[in-house]
Amino acid sequence: MQVKAPVVTPALVLRLACVIVTLAFLTAFLLLPLLVVFSEALRDGLTMYMTAITEPDARAAIALTVFTAIIVVPLNIVFGVAAAWVLTKFEFRGKSLLLTLIDLPFAVPPVIAGLVFILLLGNSGLLGPILTYLDVRIIFSTPGIVIATLFITFPFIARELIPLMQEQGMEEEQAALSLGASGLQTFWHVTLPNIKWALMYGAILCNARAMGEFGAVSVVSGHIRGKTNTMPLHVEILYNEYNFSAAFAVASLLAFLALATLIVKSLLEWHLRRSRETADQS
Amino acid sequence: MSAHPVSKWRMRRRVMPGYGLTLGYTICYLSLVVLLPVSALTLRAANVDLAVYLDVLLDPRTLAAFRLTFGAAFIAATINMVFGFIVAWTLVRYPFPGHRIVDAMVDLPFALPTAVSGIALTSLYARTGLLGSVLTPFGIEVAFAPLGVVVALTFIGLPFVVRTLQPALADLDPEYEEAALSLGATRVQVFFAVILPALRPAMLTGFALALARALGEYGSVVFISGNMPMRTEIVSLLIIGKLEQFDYDGATALAMATLSLSFLLLFSINLIQWRYAAKTRSAA
Amino acid sequence: MQFNRQSNRLLRHTSCVVVLALVLITTACYRPNAGMVEILHVSYDPTREFFQEYNAVFAQYWRDTHEQQLTVLQSHGGSGKQARSVMEGLEAHVVSLALAYDIDAIAERTQLVPEDWQSRLPHNSAPFTSTIVFLVRQGNPKEIHDWDDLVQDDVQVITPNPKTSGGARWNYLAVWGYALSRELNGLALPEAASEDMIAAADKAAYAFVKRLFQNVPLLDSGARAATTTFAQRGIGDVLITWENEAFLALDKLARYNLELVAPSVSILAEPTVTWIDAVTTRRGTTDLARAYLERLYMPEGQRLAARHYFRPRLPEYADAVDLNRLSDVELFTIADMFGSWEAAHEQHFTDGGSFDRIYLENMREGGS
């Protein structure tokens, strides 16, 4: 991170240009939409903002969203690590196919993702008769929302890890193994430290997407007020009630979340660096 | 899976542990979460009459929608690859005051429900909006025009490129570049000969992901595009339209076509990437 | 060898854990509640405010008469999407949807409700109605008073996409029906006219609707999105919308200074209600669901419907203040002008129907 580049003029110019382009691009595409969200959210004042995010339906939506993320993210972390490991450490037939299958949920439009679960679990779906017979409800209730979210966020962590692990190669792991470390030890002490930031990025992305997913969840949720509405669905409802500021208030919570997770990450990074520095000094 | 060839394979070449475990787990989880549901769609699609496919896919409205969806997604992914690279490079290499906040903002398109993004972008780029009122006098219509679709898809895809490039960039040692520079290479040469090859897997991945995501996007686009048949209608909207008329066959046919096309696209990008990786590895 | 066995065991264990976790999440969240009654009412968008109030009133009535604590869960969304959810297993005890066509679809494709559902309750199972009117900007600068004013060159019309919005289909049929009735000299039923006359009138109606859609700059996916586009974004000169939605917008979007204009002739929009037999039988709530819907026809239900800007079937129960707000519009029904929803849908909204043809032709002729 700390580049001690000598002060050369072309380098400085390049650096400035890059910073300016970055800021301009991000302002037009990210900052301004974010400002719209917050200014709309606070249009009716802070009291209304607090009311909007604490009324019972909003609380139920927040609880459901958090619950979903708590289940989805760990499951996808385990999968992501396993998939990245097998795809980057080994050569085998059909690797490209496997990789593409992992990407598949990206290629499935959210709308179709919802349809897919209707075709699998709906009354007329593949497993419909069995589920009806057992009187187990999956879609139009929480499990359906969890499963759809799992599907949508499936590739995130694996996709974050694969390019990195591919670039890193496996010399370090091989060295550890040849020194007699077990597979698990190698993974824990060699691989994991190397990929921890990517893993974290992946988890953050997965979490953000899990909480923000709208299309697929909208199809399988059933929109039951106070029960199966996630935060994005609650936002839609409020917006459709012309309750614009409340809608944006709930949406701003999701934006906060993106910012908060990154702040946690920065703090961690900073803490780690400091502890390393103090270790160096002693 | 027969045990014999696998164990033989392993004895010959495997030094790394965990092949069976990770492959098995990956395939199990993949099958449960992705393949099973998608096979429900495939089964359904197999039962749809060929005539329905032809009818749906050759409809001028469908063709126009496909052109728009793929065209806009491709443009958006390209914009993201160029600007996403600059953003990632700046964030990793040139820390400036407040770069952490900027970094945090990149995830915004993930966290915001797509509908909210669509509404926010529309209020910015509509004629009465902050940016729209600046652009309209120049004859640039963004909201309720094809350009609006590109804007929405760029917004949606940006984090994919930046977040894939960041770890790879962080891993790239500036020493190589400095060495090349001190040996008399120009910056352009360094970029094309040193930086780009090292980042190619991550860049291709980012591009592929942004593209795939853009192809399927619905929530944000419907707000900003105006949904005019033949002009600003995307494929996902057609699918919703068919479902709305309880035309499951038509919707499945369209869904299957979109899915196969994006799958093929992703597959070829992955293939290129692994070929390329294998070539560089054998060359090394 | 040893490693192989170990990894196999690990593999088995992890997959067991995953399967278990999935089973757990699928079952954990479902627990029926004893001691209380709960029904799910699946409805379309514009009825939220009305049913919120009606549910409270009905729950009170049910507590008084049956000593049961009733909770009515509400689900709102696009009419067609809600119908699909019910077909696929959303456990609705009662439904109220924007068009009879959507409930017909449930009856036709599933065993959930009998085919004759619409005759089980009075007035075609539509306890209240509405019609299609216009919203214009303050002072009505473009002087829009009737349908003919919407085809002027300098008028921009906002209406949602009839392919994705049930409400928009009423708009479309209102325009078409108006043009038809004009051609047929007033509200003459198509049945009363000769075949040739109908064909000619249909052709004229097609031209009229096509001309009108040349004035439509964008098609939002839902009715309320269209209202927002019109009010908040300031796009268009006139919004075609349901009467009750227009009143709600006047109220909630007061800061945009909109005005309501009623055309001389419009369609009688009949949102329909029914109970889902398959669900209520299984859950033992048929009597409750039936009573819930039947009380919509009683004085309290009718009064509340009128207060929420619907047109009550039995105006004698409604407050005069509420009734006086409604405009005097000559109304025709779907049956008058189109025969049935099935026929109307077939002619206009299927792929290759009149809506699709209009867009193709407008596109070819380079119309904006």
The H or E element containing residue B133 is helix B132-135
C135 and C252: one domain?
Answer: yes
The two beta strands, C265-269 and C128-137, are antiparallel
Q: How far is B90 from chain A (nearest CA, A)?
A: 6
Measured in residues, chain C has a length of 368
Question: Residue B72 has what pLDDT?
Answer: 96
CATH code of residue C74? 3.40.190.10
- How far apart (Å, rounded) are the C-alpha atoms in residues C273 and C124? 9
Give a yes or no: residue C315 inside a domain: no
| Chain C CA closest to residue B8 | C1
Crossing angle (nearest 10°) for helices A110-121 and B196-216: 60
Please report the sign of the dihedral spanned by the C-alpha atoms of residue B83, residue B89, residue B94, residue B95: positive
Give a yes or no: residue A28 inside a domain: no
User: What pLDDT digit, counting tens, does each position of A230-269 carry?
Assistant: 999 999 889 888 888 999 999 999 888 767 776 777 777 7
Of A140, A237, A242, the CB nearest to C89: A140
Q: Minimal CA–CA distance to A37: which of C239, B51, B108?
A: B108
Cβ A121 vs Cβ C90: under 8 Å: no
Residue type present at position A177: L
- How far apart (Å, rounded) are the C-alpha atoms in residues C201 and C128? 30
Listed by start position, the domains of chain B span 67-233
C112 and C213: one domain?
Answer: no
Can you list the alpha helix ranges (DSSP code H) found in C69-194?
Answer: 79-87, 100-109, 166-183
Please report the sign of the dihedral spanned by the C-alpha atoms of residue C28, residue C33, residue C38, residue C39: positive
DSSP string, B123-145: HHHSTTSTTHHHHGGGT---TTS
C30 in A contact zone (CB under 8 Å) = yes
Task: Tell me the chain C residues in contact with residue B120 when contact means C-beta distances shorter than 8 Å.
Answer: none
Chains that touch A (3 or more CB pairs under 8 A): B, C
Q: Among C297, C313, C347, which residue terminates a domain?
A: C297
C263 and C335: one domain?
Answer: yes
Task: Tell me the chain C residues in contact with residue B244 when contact means C-beta distances shorter than 8 Å.
Answer: 78, 80-81, 163-166
Q: Minimal CA–CA distance to A105: which of A51, A46, A148, A56?
A: A148
C60 and C72: one domain?
Answer: yes
Give me the percent of chain B exceeding a pLDDT of 70: 93
Residue keyed to tokens 């799992």:
A150
Residue keyed to tokens 């928009």:
C168
Question: Residue C345 has what pLDDT?
Answer: 93
**CB within 8 Å: B87 and A29:** no
Question: Residue C193 has what pLDDT?
Answer: 66
| Region class of C275: left (phi > 0), else alpha (psi between -120 and 50), else beta | beta
Q: pTM of the entire structure? A: 0.86
Give a yes or no: residue C313 inside a domain: no
C163 and C241: one domain?
Answer: yes
The H or E element containing residue C271 is none
C216 and C333: one domain?
Answer: yes
**CB within 8 Å: C363 and B231:** yes
Question: In a mutagenesis test of the C interface, which of A117, A140, A182, A227 is the best target, namely the one with the most C β-carbons within 10 Å?
Answer: A140
A215 in C contact zone (CB under 8 Å) = no
Can you list the alpha helix ranges (DSSP code H) found in A90-141?
Answer: 95-107, 110-121, 128-134
Give a yes or no: residue C166 inside a domain: yes
C97 and C144: one domain?
Answer: no
Compute chain C's Rg from CA coordinates: 24
CATH 3.50.50.60 fits B67-233, yes or no: no
pLDDT band at A47 (very low <50, low <70, confident <90, very high): very high
Q: ipTM for the complex? A: 0.82
C264 and C284: one domain?
Answer: no
Give a yes or no: residue A225 inside a domain: yes
| Residues forming a β-bridge with C274 | C95
Q: How far is B2 from chain C (nearest CA, A)?
A: 14
Mean per-residue pLDDT of chain A: 86
C169 and C282: one domain?
Answer: no
* Statement: residue B61 has pLDDT above 80: yes
| Chain A CA closest to residue C23 | A143
**Which string of b and e fits A91-127 if b means at least 16 CB within 10 Å?**
eeeebbebbbbbbbbbbbbbbbbbbbbbbbbbbebbb
pLDDT band at B4 (very low <50, low <70, confident <90, very high): very low
Mean per-residue pLDDT of chain C: 88
Domain interval for residue C249: 129-269+326-364
CATH code of residue A208? 1.10.3720.10
Compute chain B's Rg from CA coordinates: 23
| Residues forming a β-bridge with C261 | C134
Q: Where are the extended beta strands (E) located within A54-205?
A: none
* Total structural domains within chain C: 2
C104 and C188: one domain?
Answer: no
Cβ C80 vs Cβ C166: under 8 Å: yes
Question: Residue B3 has what pLDDT?
Answer: 42
C333 and C196: one domain?
Answer: yes
User: What pLDDT digit, counting tens, does each position of A58-93 carry?
Assistant: 999 999 999 999 999 999 999 999 999 999 888 888
Q: Which residue has the higher pLDDT, C16 or A9?
A: A9
- How far apart (Å, rounded) are the C-alpha atoms in residues C119 and A178? 81
Residue type present at position C26: T
| Chain A CA closest to residue C255 | A242
Q: How far is B255 from chain A (nearest CA, A)?
A: 6
Q: Mapping DSSP to helix (H, G, I), strand (E, B) and coil, where does residue C43 land? A: strand
Question: In a mutagenesis test of the C interface, which of A70, A149, A240 is the best target, namely the one with the most C β-carbons within 10 Å?
Answer: A240
* Mean pLDDT, rounded, for C168-178: 94
Give a yes or no: residue A151 inside a domain: yes
C238 and C351: one domain?
Answer: yes
Contacts 24+ apart (CB under 8 A), A5-10: A5/B174, A5/B178, A10/B187
Question: Residue C244 has what pLDDT?
Answer: 94
**CB within 8 Å: C91 and A137:** yes
| C-alpha C324 chain-centroid distance | 24
Domain interval for residue A157: 46-281
DSSP string, C105-125: HHHHHSSSS-TTGGGSSTGGG
* Total structural domains within chain A: 1
- How far apart (Å, rounded) are the C-alpha atoms in residues B144 and B225? 4
| Chain C CA closest to residue B226 | C218
- Out of A129-133, B154-158, B173-177, the most confident range is B154-158
User: What pLDDT digit, counting tens, does each position of A91-131 carry?
Assistant: 888 888 898 899 888 878 888 898 899 889 988 888 888 88
Give a yes or no: residue A184 inside a domain: yes
- Measured CA to CA in angstroms, residue A112 lies from A221, A255, B152, C325 at distances of 14, 26, 19, 44
Give a yes or no: residue C343 inside a domain: yes
Please count the other Cβ atoms lying within 10 Å of the Cβ belonging to residue C98: 30
**CB within 8 Å: C351 and B32:** no
Q: Minimal CA–CA distance to C94: which of C116, C122, C75, C119?
A: C75
